[in-house]
């Protein structure tokens, strides 16, 4: 809204031309979200306490976590409010990519809110059934994938509609432009053409997979939010490069018109995330809940698809990947050994992976900070692909 107002008034007030710079609006978006989160945090915590929206701790988890029972959860709503308000204030609201990322983020946030609500009302740590949760995630992920296939292929809304009509008349077959190919890190001239079906399948997997991976990682005070801020900030840099015709050409990346505006969203997510960390650091006064974890994962996945950095997100989110794989391996190994030996055995002391290290003797703060350090190193590796090609 402020961007549109500045565009309208800058003919009379030349100072408002500063709004044309993405860097300025990104900084202001981050500061706005940070200030809102810090200011509203105490009120949100008091409100959640009054509503008795307390975390129900798993009985089979580490014993040290039993003291966390009753800590207000659903704090991810604080992050989403900060992101939404900041983006609406500072972003160009005519940008199609801003709206699709917002839609996915709020859609996944709604799924998480319902899940958290059921956990609290029914005092059931499991929340929504896996089938129901995955069904809603799949619907949003599939719709986003279908839309992005046209949005990334064309520079504007009119061209998108023309391509959609051509796709319909062509019997649902379509050749996608080269910039929709799967980009390989460190390779300046090698990319993999996906085709329409491949693009939709990959996009769906990245969005839904990232959402669930971050949700699985959210289990310790402050563990998940800092890696999200770091990965989101790096994706903001990629968005800035992809959206700029000069920089993308110089660095040998595909130019995605309009992608640069996602820097505003990434900055807002960073500011809101840091504000949340203020209250989520050990010992946490507020938990994120599924409302935040699912939403932030969906946002990161959607942005990675738009800027064509799905593999780089996989690298930068190595902690999320490891946490998810630990759960999958634990389940597979337990079922295999139960079938083979008559008794299920565990590959890890407990999954997700952060609980394994807790039970191995690491303090909660040690696990969190060490995972942050690992994420920082992986994000730097991801950013190095900007030049090392």
Rounded CA separation 51/67 (Å):
19
215 annotated among ligand-binding-site residues: yes
For residue 339, how many other CB atoms are within 10 A of its CB? Answer: 9
CA atoms within 13 A on the CB side of 53: 24
- Annotate 287-345 with DSSP letters as a single string: --HHHHHHHHHHHHHHHHHHTT-HHHHHHHTHHHHHHHHHHHHHHHHHHHHHHHHSS--
**Helices vs strands, H then E, count in the chain:** 15, 2
In angstroms, rounded to a whole number, what is the distance separating the alpha carbons of residues 24 and 289? 32
User: Is 299 within 8 Å of 265 (Cβ atoms)?
Assistant: yes
389 close to 252: Cβ distance less than 8 angstroms: yes
Closest alpha carbon to 37 in 75, 91, 93, 3 = 75
273/30 Cα distance (integer angstroms)? 10
CA distance linking residue 200 with residue 205, whole number of Å: 9
Do 32 and 271 contact (CB within 8 A), yes or no? Answer: yes
Given a contact cutoff of 8 angstroms between Cβ atoms, the answer to whether 267 and 260 are in contact is no
Tokens representing 133 are 């949760």
Tell me which H or E stretch contains 379: helix 364-384
Numbered residues of the known binding site: 215, 290
Numbered residues of the known binding site for Mg(2+): 215, 290
């Amino acid at each position: 809204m402020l961007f549109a107002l500045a565009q309208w008034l800058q003919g009379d007030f030349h100072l408002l031309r500063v709004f044309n710079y993405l860097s300025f609006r990104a900084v202001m978006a981050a500061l706005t979200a940070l200030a809102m989160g810090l200011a509203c945090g105490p009120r949100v915590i008091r409100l959640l306490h009054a509503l008795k929206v307390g975390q129900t701790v798993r009985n089979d988890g580490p014993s040290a976590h039993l003291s966390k029972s009753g800590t207000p959860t659903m704090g991810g709503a604080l992050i989403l409010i900060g992101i939404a308000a900041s983006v609406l204030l500072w972003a160009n609201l005519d940008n199609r990519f801003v709206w699709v990322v917002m839609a996915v983020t709020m859609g996944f946030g709604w799924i998480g809110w319902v899940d958290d609500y059921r956990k609290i009302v029914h005092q059931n740590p499991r929340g929504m059934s896996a089938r129901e949760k995955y069904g809603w995630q799949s619907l949003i992920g599939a719709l986003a994938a279908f839309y992005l296939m046209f949005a990334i292929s064309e520079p504007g809304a009119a061209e998108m509609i023309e391509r959609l009509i051509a796709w319909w008349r062509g019997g649902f077959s379509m050749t996608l432009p080269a910039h929709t190919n799967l980009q390989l890190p460190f390779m300046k001239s090698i990319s993999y053409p996906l085709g329409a079906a491949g693009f939709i399948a990959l996009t769906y997997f990245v969005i839904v997979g990232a959402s669930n991976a971050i949700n699985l990682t959210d289990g310790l005070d402050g563990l998940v939010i800092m890696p999200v801020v770091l990965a989101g900030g790096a994706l903001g840099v990629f968005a800035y490069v992809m959206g700029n015709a000069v920089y993308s050409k110089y660095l040998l990346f595909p130019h995605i018109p309009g992608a640069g505006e996602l820097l505003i969203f990434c900055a807002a997510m960073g500011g809101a995330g840091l504000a949340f960390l203020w209250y989520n650091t050990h010992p946490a006064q507020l938990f994120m809940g599924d409302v935040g974890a699912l939403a932030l994962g969906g946002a990161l996945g959607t942005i990675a698809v738009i800027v064509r950095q799905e593999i780089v997100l996989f690298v930068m989110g190595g902690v999320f990947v490891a946490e998810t794989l630990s759960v999958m391996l634990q389940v597979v190994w337990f079922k295999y050994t139960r079938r083979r030996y008559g008794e299920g055995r565990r590959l890890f002391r407990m999954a997700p992976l952060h609980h394994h290290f807790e039970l191995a003797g690491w303090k909660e703060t040690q696990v969190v900070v060490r995972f942050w350090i690992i994420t920082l190193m992986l994000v730097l590796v991801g950013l190095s692909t900007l030049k090392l090609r």
